[in-house]
């Protein structure tokens, strides 16, 4: 069974700090990996999609990397802001049918 | 404005009732999904559909039913057989062809049993 793990479950940092969120998966035969942001009581907003052939993707202050051989992806957030406070979820797609989600990392950026 | 619309935002169910959650998309995606989210847990797949008039059970399908009569619509019915239905329900859609198949989500429906 494919499993996706996110560490840490929660993270609190002061504003301005650079931070890294981790996502690991048990089966390396992925099609792609997607990072999402979820605000309380809301749906998921897509942040970055990395195809299996790519090593990283960047969008503004966000950079996501993918290492299939080790079963890991990281989301790097530069110069964090209070508005970045949310839960961040990674989802791994193994075929055209299903996504497998981690439990998320709840981020709190303190002013 | 393209996207996924879920309704209602909040839904209350009495014991023994069936309720239906709506999910509509105008992204022309073939695949649609229903997920359940409980506090502190990741999303768990209930049902998914790759094409009209076809759908498959996910990991926690018991007590739920779906239909896919139109490409843009994928309603979820929570039946009285679902013993613990209180949760946040999320609908998603995506393409099924190619590697760059980004998933898009609706804003969710919070279901509470009263």
**For the segment A62-83, what is each residue's pLDDT rounded down to a tens digit?**
999 999 999 999 999 999 999 9
Looking at the complex, does the CB of residue B43 fall below 8 Å from at least one CB of chain A? yes
pLDDT for the residue numbered B99: 62
Report how far residue B73's alpha carbon sits from residue B22's, in angstroms, rounded to the nearest whole number.
Answer: 8
pLDDT at B100 over 70: no
Q: Measure the CA angle with vertex A66, ends A65 and A71; round to 5°.
A: 140
Report how far residue A40's alpha carbon sits from residue A30's, in angstroms, rounded to the nearest whole number.
Answer: 29
CA-nearest residue to A38 within chain B is: B107
**Window 46-65 of B, Cβ < 8 Å to A:** 48, 50, 56, 58
Among residues A76, A90, A73, A78, which one has the least CA distance to residue A37? Answer: A90
**For the segment B69-89, what is each residue's pLDDT rounded down to a tens digit?**
999 999 999 999 898 999 999
Confidence of residue B34 (pLDDT cuts 50, 70, 90): very high
């Amino acid at each position: 069974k494919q499993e996706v793990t996110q560490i840490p479950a929660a993270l609190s940092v002061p504003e301005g700090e650079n931070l890294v969120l981790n996502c690991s998966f048990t089966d390396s035969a992925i099609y792609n990996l997607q990072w999402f942001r979820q605000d309380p009581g809301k749906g998921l907003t897509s942040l970055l999609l990395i195809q299996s052939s790519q090593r990283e993707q960047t969008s503004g202050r966000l950079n996501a990397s993918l290492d299939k051989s080790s079963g890991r992806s990281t989301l790097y957030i530069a110069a964090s802001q209070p508005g970045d406070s949310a839960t961040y979820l990674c989802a791994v797609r193994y075929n055209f049918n299903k996504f497998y989600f981690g439990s998320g990392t709840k981020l709190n950026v303190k002013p | 404005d393209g996207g996924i619309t879920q309704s209602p935002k909040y839904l209350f169910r009495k014991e023994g009732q069936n309720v239906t959650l709506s999910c509509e998309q105008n992204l022309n995606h073939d695949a649609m999904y229903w997920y359940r989210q409980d506090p502190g847990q990741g999303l768990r797949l209930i049902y998914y559909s790759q094409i009209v008039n076809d759908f498959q059970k996910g990991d926690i399908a018991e007590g739920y039913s779906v239909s896919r009569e139109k490409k843009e619509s994928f309603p979820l019915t929570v039946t009285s057989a679902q013993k613990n239905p209180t949760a946040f329900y999320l609908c998603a859609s995506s393409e099924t062809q190619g590697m760059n198949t980004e998933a898009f989500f609706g804003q969710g429906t919070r279901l509470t049993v009263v």
